[in-house]
C-alpha cells in the first residue's frame, strides 16, 4: 500500500523533544486512517537535532529528512516540505508536540472534501501573554483575509498536496495558509483539537514577533491577493 499522507515536522534546536516525537508519530502511523510517513525538515539546528534525526530515519522507511545549510525560518521549512512531498496529502505539526499527532485522525475524515483542514487549539495551555498575542494576531488576520478561521497559527494541518505546492510562499506566510487555499478557490474547514504545555525545549516566538511580523505580512497578503493568477482549463489537447 502506497503512502497517502506525509507529515512535515520542521525542526530547529529540538533535541530534547525528538525521541518523543518519534514515539508519538509511530503511534499515530499505526492508527492512521491513511497510510502515513514523516518528513523532518532540519532548519539549520545548532544543537544535536540533526544527528538524532539521522538515527531516527536510519532503517525506518516511515521516516525521512532534509536538512538546510543554515537557519531560514518556519515558512521556508514548510515550503521545503511542500516541495519534496509526493503523497496526495501533506500534513504539518510542530516538533514541540503541543498538539498531538493522534489528532490528525480528527482531520483526515475531511480530507477528500476539503483542500485544507486545520485544528483549533481548545483550552490552550500557553501563558496569558502568549494567548493574548495570538488572539490579537488572529483577529488582525481575519480582518484582512476574511478566511473565517479562529486559529490560523495552529500547528496541526492537512492540505491536498497539489494545492500546497501552488502556494507562493514567503516568510511569515505559514500564518496565511487557509487564506492562500481560498485564493485557489479551495475549500477549508477547522475542527477542535487538544493542546498541551511545552515540556521541553524553548519557544521560537515571543509577543512582538507574533504581532509585528503578522501585521506587516497582512499587507503582503493583500498585494498578493490583488495580483494572484488563478485559472481553470476547460478543454485541452496536448
Averaged over 119-134, what is the pLDDT? 65
Q: In the prediction, which pLDDT does 231 show?
A: 76
- In angstroms, the CA 222 to CA 59 distance is 46
Q: In the prediction, which pLDDT does 137 show?
A: 66
Between 46-50, 68-72, 134-138, 223-227, the lowest mean confidence (pLDDT) is in 134-138
Range list of β-strands (E), 32-167 = 36-42, 63-67, 89-93, 116-121, 156-160
Calculate the CA 15 to chain-centre distance: 20
Task: Beginning with the edge strand found earlier in the chain, give each strand of the sheet holding 116-121 in spatial order.
Answer: 63-67, 36-42, 5-11, 89-93, 156-160, 116-121, 188-193
Under DSSP, the state recorded for 184 is: T
Exposed/middle/buried for residue 213 (C-beta within 10 Å: 0-12, 13-18, 19+) = middle
CATH of 5-227, one of 3.30.70.1350, 3.40.50.800, 1.10.3130.10, 3.90.550.10: 3.90.550.10
The Cβ of residue 232 has, within 10 Å, a number of other Cβ atoms equal to 5
Q: Are strands 63-67 and 36-42 parallel, antiparallel or unpaired?
A: parallel
pLDDT band at 124 (very low <50, low <70, confident <90, very high): low
Angle at 76 between CA 75 and CA 80, to 5 degrees: 120
pLDDT band at 94 (very low <50, low <70, confident <90, very high): very high
Between residues 154 and 30, which one has the greater pLDDT? 30
Under DSSP, the state recorded for 190 is: E
Q: In the prediction, which pLDDT does 230 show?
A: 78
Q: In the prediction, which pLDDT does 126 show?
A: 54
Between residues 165 and 142, which one has the greater pLDDT? 165
Residue 206 confidence (pLDDT) above 60: no
- In angstroms, the CA 69 to CA 40 distance is 14
Q: If you compute the radius of gyration of the chain from its CA atoms, what whole number of angstroms results?
A: 17
- In angstroms, the CA 7 to CA 4 distance is 10
Name the pTM for this structure. 0.82
pLDDT (tens digit per residue) in 24-42 = 999 999 999 999 999 999 9
Domain boundaries, the chain: 5-227
Under DSSP, the state recorded for 79 is: H
Residue 144 confidence (pLDDT) above 60: yes
Q: What is the DSSP code string of 108-142?
A: GGGTTT-SEEEEEESS--S-HHHHHHHHHHHHHHH
Phi then psi for residue 64, to 5 deg, are: -145, 175
Largest Cα–Cα distance of the chain, in whole Å?
58
Amino acid at each position: 500500500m502506497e503512502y497517502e499522507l506525509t507529515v512535515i515536522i520542521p525542526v530547529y534546536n529540538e533535541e530534547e523533544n525528538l525521541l518523543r516525537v518519534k514515539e508519538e508519530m509511530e503511534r499515530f502511523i499505526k492508527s492512521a486512517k491513511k497510510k502515513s510517513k514523516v518528513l523532518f525538515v532540519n532548519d539549520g539546528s545548532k544543537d544535536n537535532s540533526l544527528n538524532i534525526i539521522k538515527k531516527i530515519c536510519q532503517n525506518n522507511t516511515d521516516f525521512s529528512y532534509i536538512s538546510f545549510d543554515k537557519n531560514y525560518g518556519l515558512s521556508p521549512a514548510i515550503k521545503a516540505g511542500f516541495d519534496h512531498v509526493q503523497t496526495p496529502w501533506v500534513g504539518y505539526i510542530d516538533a514541540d508536540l503541543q498538539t498531538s499527532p493522534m489528532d490528525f485522525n480528527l482531520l483526515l475524515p475531511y480530507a477528500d472534501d476539503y483542500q485544507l483542514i486545520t485544528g483549533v487549539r481548545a483550552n490552550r495551555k500557553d501563558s496569558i501573554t502568549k494567548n493574548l498575542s495570538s488572539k490579537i494576531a488572529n483577529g488582525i488576520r481575519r480582518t484582512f483575509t476574511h478566511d473565517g478561521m479562529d486559529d490560523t497559527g495552529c500547528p496541526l494541518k492537512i492540505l491536498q498536496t497539489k494545492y500546497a505546492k501552488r502556494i507562493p510562499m514567503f516568510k511569515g506566510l505559514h500564518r496565511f495558509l487557509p487564506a492562500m487555499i481560498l485564493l485557489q478557490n479551495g475549500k477549508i474547514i477547522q475542527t477542535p483539537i487538544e493542546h498541551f504545555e511545552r515540556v521541553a525545549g524553548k519557544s521560537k516566538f515571543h509577543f512582538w514577533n507574533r504581532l509585528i511580523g503578522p501585521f506587516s505580512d497582512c499587507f503582503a497578503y493583500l498585494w498578493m491577493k490583488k495580483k494572484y493568477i488563478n485559472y481553470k482549463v476547460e478543454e485541452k489537447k496536448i
